[in-house]
Amino acid sequence: MYFISIAKRGVSSHQVAKFIGLRQPTVWFMLHRLREASKDANYLILEGDVEADETFVGPNINRDTRLQREQKRHYEEQERIHGISEEKARTQRGFPAKRGRKKGSTDKVLEQKRKEKEAIGERKPFDKHKVIIGFSERKGRIVLRKLGNKSSITKKNVSRELLNYVSVKSVLFTDEASVYTEVGEQFADHQSINHKETYVKGTTHINNIENVWNHYKRTLNGTYFHYESQHLDRYIDEFVFRWNHRNESALSIFNSLISMCYEKRLDYKTLVKDSPPKLRPKRKKAA
């Protein structure tokens, strides 16, 4: 608890394990339980001048061998369901060039292919980046929520999060993204800035939430660069807790974290239930 209270950009389980003399998996579990307890700081109603924006976060696949294995597993599963992709097939010798309708593709054949496609669904791309939407009071508190993949940036999802965590009596500041146009009419005032022209126009800007993204991405890239996407919510909750208590002393933050732990429980089975299976090399049988 003390390490989380004083760390500006988080603390890794490897570092804490070395300090207190425990195994890294034990400390990793302990830290996730504390992150789960701190999530109450991420359920607020913001008021006054509130800025809203969204960003993409994701681990660097070139640094993360676990993510590379996950990507390989995803592509193998998609090939098992849908067959080899056309991109991959074009790299193979003898694959015919794509020139309009294939020979023999009658309307009956195309209809059959359409039905088969509906039955097995679309080929899913490997999307390692997640979308986070954030709201920030000017020089005040913040709320960050994970939306999902790129396709989750819709008017419905953005409106739901805004109305859940921002008071309609507030003045809303955003960029000129179309997802904020309709929902902005429900607030006391809605001002938007065109980033293609300028970043500040009088009091209209979203520099506070941009500053939040800067600090949060430094936390991920510098400390938690080996995280799994299924645990992203808890890393967000930890960051929001520390940010909303940033003007307090370490002792005050420590006491706040203790009070949040009351009647909270996260067992290990729940924590890892959605983890992907590990890819292990096949052992060769003894001669």
Quote the number of domains for the chain: 2
Contacts for 19 with CB less than 8 Å, ≥ 6 apart: 3
Q: Are residues 154 and 108 located together in one domain of the fold?
A: no
Strand partners, 195: none
Region 207-211: mean pLDDT is: 94
Flag whether 148 is in a domain: yes
**Model confidence over 12-36: pLDDT tens digits?**
999 999 999 999 999 999 999 999 9
Higher pLDDT, 270 or 273: 270
**Separation of alpha carbons 52 and 46, rounded Å:** 11
254 contacts 79 by C-beta, under 8 angstroms? no
- Assign 120 a pLDDT band (cuts: 50, 70, 90): confident
Q: Are residues 251 and 139 located together in one domain of the fold?
A: yes
**Model confidence over 153-195: pLDDT tens digits?**
999 999 999 999 999 999 999 999 999 999 999 999 999 999 8
Region 203-220: mean pLDDT is: 93
Region 189-203: mean pLDDT is: 91
Higher pLDDT, 280 or 125: 125
Flag whether 283 is in a domain: no
Q: Are residues 74 and 191 located together in one domain of the fold?
A: no
**Separation of alpha carbons 18 and 25, rounded Å:** 12
Flag whether 167 is in a domain: yes
Q: Are residues 73 and 138 located together in one domain of the fold?
A: no
Q: Are residues 174 and 209 located together in one domain of the fold?
A: yes
Q: Are residues 192 and 221 located together in one domain of the fold?
A: yes
Q: Are residues 215 and 111 located together in one domain of the fold?
A: no
- Tell me: pLDDT of 197 over 70: yes
**Separation of alpha carbons 238 and 5, rounded Å:** 10
**Separation of alpha carbons 111 and 101, rounded Å:** 14
Flag whether 280 is in a domain: no
Region 45-67: mean pLDDT is: 85
| Intra-chain end-to-end CA distance of the chain, in Å | 53
Contacts for 162 with CB less than 8 Å, ≥ 6 apart: 52, 135, 172, 180, 183
- Tell me: pLDDT of 280 over 60: no
Residue range of the domain that includes 229:
2-59+132-271
**Model confidence over 142-155: pLDDT tens digits?**
999 999 888 889 99
Flag whether 24 is in a domain: yes
Q: Are residues 111 and 141 located together in one domain of the fold?
A: no
Flag whether 282 is in a domain: no
Flag whether 281 is in a domain: no
91-95, 113-117, 206-210: which has the highest mean pLDDT? 206-210
Q: Are residues 201 and 184 located together in one domain of the fold?
A: yes
Q: Are residues 121 and 192 located together in one domain of the fold?
A: no
Flag whether 107 is in a domain: yes
Q: Are residues 25 and 160 located together in one domain of the fold?
A: yes
**Separation of alpha carbons 202 and 215, rounded Å:** 25
Q: Are residues 71 and 139 located together in one domain of the fold?
A: no
